[in-house]
Structure 1
Amino acid sequence: MPQHRDPLTTKPLTAAQQALGRLLEQQQRECRAGNALVGADAEAFLDALIERFEAHHARVSRKLSK
């Protein structure tokens, strides 16, 4: 599997960053197809998604630091 890199830092992307990227790409495809969430629904969805990723990242970081 190719390793995706952050274009600004050239560091490898984390699994969470890659997953978020895939979800955003899916949202863009749905937008083009006319099936996307719009306005407040899209904003609420993305806010919830980011909160879940941040919570997951915090849990993983705590486990790795033990």
Structure 2
Amino acid sequence: MDELDRLFGLLVAALARETRVAVPFAAAEIYERLVPYRSNRSRLNVATHQDYEMAVLRLLAGERG
């Protein structure tokens, strides 16, 4: 499991807590509110903010479908 898998899992969990799994949301909400870097960096196991940003970009690009 890499940072992309962990980010996806945390995002789904955050959306499920708010019962918003099937509701559209702005991409900016991922890093601003749903899975912010500071409060999730240890769970994501990323070394730098750039690693976090790359994981978000990979997620938004649809890597792995």
TM-score under structure 1 normalisation? 0.35
Q: Which structure would you say has the larger Rg?
A: 1
Greater relative contact order (Cα < 8 A, sep 6+)? 2
